[in-house]
Structure 1
Amino acid sequence: MTLRLGDTAPDFEQDSSTGKIKFHEWAGDSWVVLFSHPADYTPVCTTELGLTAKLKPEFDKRNVKALALSVDPVESHKGWIGDIEQTQKTVVNFPIIADADRKVSMLYDMIHPEASATATVRSLFVIDPQKKVRLMITYPMSCGRNFEEVLRVVDALQVADKYTVATPGNWKQGDDVIIPMSVQDPEVIKQKYPGGFKAERPYLRMTPQPGK
């Protein structure tokens, strides 16, 4: 199965470090960051899960739930969590899916045979409250993810949804945003973007981030 942006994220029921998870039910009306790691008791993954745990207050502000996954069994996850907490000085406060039968990995195309025939690559999905896939990023096994970028892109998606804007390269919360070309009515522009706008070109209209 090939997932594309805008697709409904596949539902599943699977064991995890916190018990059985029925994905759509568990997600509720939250955003979800679902991310896979190649294996338990590996160094890069240990740092990534530690970072995710430390960012829980930031995820909470954005109505985001984190959900990790590997093909290791529940008991392995539970043992490894102790290592993560000791070495990364944090508390693992999110579930880790135990995808021993690779059911979820196959649904989300997390196993790339040319990288590994059995382990999941570092796939990451941002899923909105309507269960739509909004972002997909895949890293190689050797490269740890930038979770500050994950927060940044969640901010960008949420601002775009709320205010009908696009965000420029390297945008971060509070920076100017772009009025989409689909918005042309002057009255609508005046209402939606009260800060006015600066047009470098007719197609490039920058406006202060609404709501700030």
Structure 2
Amino acid sequence: MTLHIGDTALDFTVDTQNGEISLHDWAGDSWVFFFSHPADFTPVCTTEMGRTAQLAEQFDARNTKPLGLSTDTADEHRKWIADVNDTQNTNLTFPIVADADLAIAKMYDMIHPDESETAAVRSVFIIDPDKKVRLTMTYPMSVGRNFDEILRVIDALQLSDRKRIATPADWQIGKEVIIPPSISDEEAKGLFPQGWTEHRPYLRTTDVS
């Protein structure tokens, strides 16, 4: 099954190195950064897991819980995490799904046969507190993720929800945002009393910082 943006994230109950979790209950009122990696004790994955752990405060500040996955067992996760902590100078505490039977990876369409029949590609799902999939990204096994971009899209999604705005290309926190065409000028006056710049009737930018 392929999950699309706006779909409800499929729930599951599964073992992790921290014990059993059920996705929806575990997520609670938080956002979730759910990401897969091909295998434990592999180089790119080690750097990604380490980077996620290093960014724990950044994820916390965004009310976002990281959740990893690979098609390995919880015991293998526990052994590998010691290597991650040692080589990446961090302390990994977030759960990593143990998916040795590929059930979750297949549920979330993380197995791409041209890459591997048994290892997950580098999938990303950003899930909001309503358990809706808000963003998906897929990287090949050979390319590590850009975590600056992952944090940026979480910021953009959360700001969009709060302020009813859209974000332009390469947007960063503090930069101007776009007033969507679906919001009339009259409604925009109430939502954005600071005013806006009209580049075209369909392109209005404003500061929401």
The corresponding residue for 1:59 is: 59
Using the TM superposition, give the Cα deviation of residue 46 of structure 1 relative to its aligned residue in structure 2, in angstroms.
0.3
Unpaired segments ≥5 residues, structure 2: none
The residue correspondences of 1:5-20 to structure 2 (distance < 5 A) are 5-20=5-20
1:166 corresponding residue in structure 2: 166
Separation of aligned partners in 2, 1:48 and 1:102: 21
Aligned pairs for 1:179-194 (under 5 A) are 179-186=179-186, 188-194=187-193
Residue 72 of structure 1 deviates from its aligned partner by 0.4
Please report how far the alpha carbon of residue 185 of structure 1 lies from its aligned counterpart in structure 2 after TM superposition.
Answer: 4.2
Aligned to 1:206: 205
- Alignment partners' CA distance in 2, 1:191 and 1:201: 20
Amino acid paired to 1:142: S
1:2-46 per-residue CA deviation (whole Å, 9 max, x = no partner) reads 111000000000110100011100000000000000000000000
Does 2:146 match 1:146?
Answer: yes
Name the residue aligned to 1:94: 94
Percent identity reads 57
Give 1:116 shift.
Answer: 0.6
Moved over 4 A (4+): none
Q: Which residue of 1 aligns with 2:156?
A: 156
Distance 1:76 1:97 in 2: 11
SS at match of 1:7: coil
Question: Structure 2-normalised TM-score?
Answer: 0.99
- For residue 194 of structure 2, what is the aligned residue in structure 1? 195
What is the one-letter code of the residue matched to 1:169?
A
TM-score by length of 1: 0.97
Structure 1: any 5+ residue segments left out of the alignment?
none
CA shift digits 1:121-176 (9 cap, x unpaired): 00000000000000000000000000111000000000001100000000011110
